[in-house]
């Protein structure tokens, strides 16, 4: 049963407890200065963004079919059955294709390090494997961030939208975006007004490259026969020409 | 006996200045990381080192596979005099791409990881394997030159024996590699500006690499004829110019069709940076294509050279647009390379020129074939007919 996070922007009070919980879980420093940064970075894996009187969280969406994991040449990123997309820093060679490929611009890099790693939220894989909720969900005092089974959270989101139709924009972000994500958003206003990308494709992104990559065996087999054949013909022609030339 | 200090010329001073700045930039890269040496950011993870050093480096090396295919597989043997320089360019190009990668990778010490840790679903994985294998193939294709120089006949024979499968492998790997650099960007449909994002990016990258391979061959023949006081193989280069015109036309025609199918011509009415960069890129391909159809342009060395230079710059513009500028708007940020990024790139290019020159001076890159030009094509020995280079 894949896990998910439901973030309800209408409940969020912008207290940033999720940021603190996340920093503690990763062992990252957290103070007022870092709290004031409203962008995710290698030292801040989740953030609360202010959009007028509305709030919005940014964290890894842990996509159902993650572009980052599909593009990683060394398989350092893996989608787990539990839901989180996990990262093995010991494999990573730092090509940063995951950062380029991510439609949500989530992966961040330790730019100033001499031996840098990529950093991103992994939806508290160890905590969730041990049956605990994510650090952000545990820290949230108002239930704006909720962690649980994805199906149950989708049902709950639908129920909230149905019960208070005038308080919610009637859509759930993350249901079909890039083929579905583990983080689901509901909000009072259309999602672009709380800083979410609404121009992302509704299909899983790995398909875009796989369509071409799966042709590699075709190119190799057809190509080698074709080129070998052409070589054989031109070579034969040269041989024949040479023999005939000698006889004359 | 005192050794003479090399004469100071303008070019040598410029070369030294570039290499020194590159050296300092290298120091910054090693000790202060990517953050201390580049203007890359979380929102813009790939810059000049990927956009130019890797994407253009591989493309400009495309003359190698194009001419191997023309001379040895299609057996159009009159192109033979320019084959070796093309293979040398390709080999140096690939080696320098790897050097560029060592700068760009966050962990260059793990360059070998994709060979051991596999993810066949990743385009970058395919790219990594193509770079590795094709650099090896190019090394083997270049080896006969070394063997000839030192008169080692045994290894020369041995390498001739495997040369046909080697050449076919080289062409296949190039086909995969050139196109896969385009495939890299298929995963960013919402980031790459629609003038460049198309599902047929791999095809476009492949065709344009053939064009630039031919253009680079004309370019380096012109330069080496001046540097070494050789006669220019003008009729040969002119006929190559004609092929180039056809390849460019095919490329531009496919791009036109693709754009019309995707209904993006309306974007050209917008006064945006992308529109102008796109116009520049297309002009640098279209103008030489039109000019090269005219015999009087092709047969004038200066004009032929100018056309080749335009194609090279048009190609570089295209790769930079796809790899950097076309991604800026979609990434919501601006990127201008830091001086150290430019310094490293220039150093790599300058080193490429210098190494090419040194190798061409000491190894039979050009001379060997100027002797072979005179006899008729039929008189080739059997071993020569399948020889690489």
Q: Tell whether B176 is covered by a domain.
A: yes
Report phi then psi at B38, rounded to 5.
-135, 165
Q: What is the pLDDT of residue B364?
A: 86
Q: Tell whether B349 is covered by a domain.
A: no
Q: Tell whether B312 is covered by a domain.
A: yes
pLDDT tens-place string over residues A146-194: 999 999 999 999 999 999 999 999 999 999 999 999 999 999 999 999 9
Contact B126 A213 (CB under 8 A): yes
Contact A71 B122 (CB under 8 A): yes
Helix, strand, coil % in chain B, rounded to nearest 5: 80, 0, 20
Q: List chain B residues with CB under 8 Å of A219.
A: 172, 175-176
Token pair in block for residue A121: 């939220």
Q: How many CB atoms lie within 10 A of CB B372?
A: 15
- Are B158 and B207 within one domain? no
A90 CB within 8 Å of a chain B CB: no
- Are B164 and B275 within one domain? no
Query: Facing residues of A146 across strands?
Result: A6
pLDDT tens-place string over residues B285-304: 999 999 999 999 999 999 99
Q: State the average pLDDT for chain A.
A: 95
Report phi then psi at A159, rounded to 5.
-65, -45
In terms of C-beta distances under 8 Å and separation of at least 24 residues, what long-range contacts does A140-145 make, across chains too?
A: A140/A17, A140/A18, A141/A13, A141/A15, A141/A17, A142/A11, A142/A12, A142/A13, A142/A15, A143/A8, A143/A11, A144/A7, A144/A8, A144/A9, A144/A11, A144/A12, A144/A13, A144/A55, A145/A5, A145/A6, A145/A7, A145/A12, A145/A18, A145/A57
User: A53 CB contacts (<8 Å, ≥6 apart)?
Assistant: none
Which of A77, A85, A89, A95 is the best substitution to test chain B (most B C-beta atoms within 10 A)? A95
Q: Tell whether B18 is covered by a domain.
A: no
Q: Give the mean pLDDT of A65-79.
A: 97
Q: What is the pLDDT of residue B367?
A: 60
H-type helices in chain A, by residue range?
17-26, 32-36, 67-71, 97-101, 125-129, 135-139, 150-163, 206-213, 216-247
Contact B122 A109 (CB under 8 A): no
Q: How many beta-carbon pairs under 8 angstroms link A with B?
A: 186
Contact A209 B186 (CB under 8 A): yes
Three-class secondary structure of residue B243 per DSSP: helix
- Are B301 and B204 within one domain? yes
- Are B293 and B168 within one domain? no
Total count of domains within chain B? 2
Token pair in block for residue B184: 């890299």
Q: List chain B residues with CB under 8 Å of A114.
A: 30-33
Which portions of chain B are predicted below pLDDT 70? Answer: 1-4, 367-389
- Are B104 and B229 within one domain? no
Q: Tell whether B201 is covered by a domain.
A: yes
Contact A100 B45 (CB under 8 A): yes
Q: Tell whether B13 is covered by a domain.
A: no
- Are B266 and B140 within one domain? no
Task: Choose among A100, A197, A223: nearest Cβ to B172.
Answer: A223
Domain of residue B68 covers: 48-187+357-370+381-389
The residue assigned the tokens 């139709």 is: A165
- Are B266 and B282 within one domain? yes
Q: List chain A residues with CB under 8 Å of B164.
A: 231
Token pair in block for residue A56: 């919005």
ipTM: 0.92
Q: Tell whether B52 is covered by a domain.
A: yes
- Are B178 and B224 within one domain? no
Handedness of CA B83, B84, B89, B90 (dihedral sign): positive
Q: What is the pLDDT of residue A123?
A: 97
Token pair in block for residue B60: 């400009």
- Are B209 and B264 within one domain? yes
């Amino acid at each position: 049963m894949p896990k998910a996070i439901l973030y309800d922007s209408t409940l969020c009070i912008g207290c940033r407890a999720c940021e603190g919980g996340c920093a503690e879980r990763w062992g990252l420093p957290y103070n007022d200065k870092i709290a004031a940064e409203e962008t995710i970075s290698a030292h801040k894996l989740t953030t609360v963004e202010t959009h007028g009187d509305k709030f919005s969280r940014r964290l890894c969406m842990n996509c159902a079919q993650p572009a980052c994991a599909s593009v990683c040449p060394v398989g350092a990123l893996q989608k787990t059955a539990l839901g989180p997309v996990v990262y093995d820093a010991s494999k990573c060679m730092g090509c940063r294709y995951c950062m380029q490929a991510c439609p949500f611009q989530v992966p961040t890099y330790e730019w100033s390090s001499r031996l840098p790693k990529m950093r991103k939220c992994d939806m508290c894989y160890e905590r969730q494997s041990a049956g605990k909720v994510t650090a952000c969900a545990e820290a949230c005092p108002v239930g704006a961030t909720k962690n649980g089974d994805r199906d149950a959270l989708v049902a709950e989101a639908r129920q909230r939208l149905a019960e208070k139709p005038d308080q919610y924009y009637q859509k759930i972000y993350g249901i079909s975006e890039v083929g579905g994500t583990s983080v689901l958003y509901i909000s009072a206003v259309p999602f672009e007004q709380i800083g979410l990308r609404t121009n992302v494709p509704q299909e899983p992104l790995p398909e875009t490259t796989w369509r071409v990559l799966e042709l590699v065996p075709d190119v190799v087999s057809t190509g080698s026969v074709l080129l070998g054949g052409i070589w054989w013909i031109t070579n034969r022609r040269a041989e024949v020409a040479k023999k005939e030339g000698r006889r004359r | 006996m005192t050794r003479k200090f090399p004469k100071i010329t303008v070019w040598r001073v410029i070369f030294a200045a570039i290499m020194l700045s590159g050296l300092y930039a290298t120091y910054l890269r090693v000790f202060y990381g990517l953050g201390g040496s580049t203007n890359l950011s979380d929102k813009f993870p790939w810059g000049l080192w990927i956009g130019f050093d890797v994407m253009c480096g591989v493309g400009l090396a495309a003359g190698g596979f194009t001419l191997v295919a023309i001379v040895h597989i299609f057996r159009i043997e009159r192109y033979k005099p320019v084959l070796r320089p093309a293979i040398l360019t390709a080999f140096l190009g690939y080696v320098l791409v790897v050097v560029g990668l060592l700068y760009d990778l966050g962990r260059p010490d793990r360059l070998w990881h994709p060979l051991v840790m596999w993810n066949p679903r990743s385009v970058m994985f395919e790219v990594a394997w193509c770079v590795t294998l094709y650099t090896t193939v190019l090394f083997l294709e270049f080896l006969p030159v070394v063997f000839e120089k030192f008169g080692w006949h045994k290894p020369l024979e041995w390498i001739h024996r495997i040369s046909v499968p080697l050449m076919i492998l080289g062409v296949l790997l190039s086909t995969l590699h050139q196109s896969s650099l385009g495939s890299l960007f298929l995963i960013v449909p919402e980031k790459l500006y629609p003038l460049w994002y198309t599902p047929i990016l791999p095809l476009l990258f492949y065709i344009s690499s053939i064009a630039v391979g031919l253009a680079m061959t004309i370019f380096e023949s012109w330069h080496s004829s001046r540097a070494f006081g050789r006669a220019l193989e003008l009729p040969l280069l002119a006929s190559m110019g004609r092929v180039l015109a056809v390849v460019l036309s095919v490329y531009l025609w496919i791009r036109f069709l693709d754009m019309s199918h995707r209904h993006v011509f309306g974007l050209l009415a917008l006064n945006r940076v992308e529109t102008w960069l796109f116009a520049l890129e297309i002009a640098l391909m279209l103008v030489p294509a039109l000019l090269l159809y005219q015999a009087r342009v092709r047969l004038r060395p200066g004009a032929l050279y100018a056309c080749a230079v335009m194609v090279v710059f048009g190609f570089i513009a295209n790769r930079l647009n796809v790899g950097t500028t076309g991604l800026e708007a979609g990434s919501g940020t601006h990127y201008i390379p830091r001086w150290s990024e430019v310094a490293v790139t220039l150093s790599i290019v300058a080193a490429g020129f210098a190494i090419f020159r040194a190798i061409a001076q000491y190894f039979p890159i050009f001379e060997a074939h100027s002797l072979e030009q005179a006899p008729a094509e039929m008189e080739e020995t059997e071993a020569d007919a399948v020889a690489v280079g």
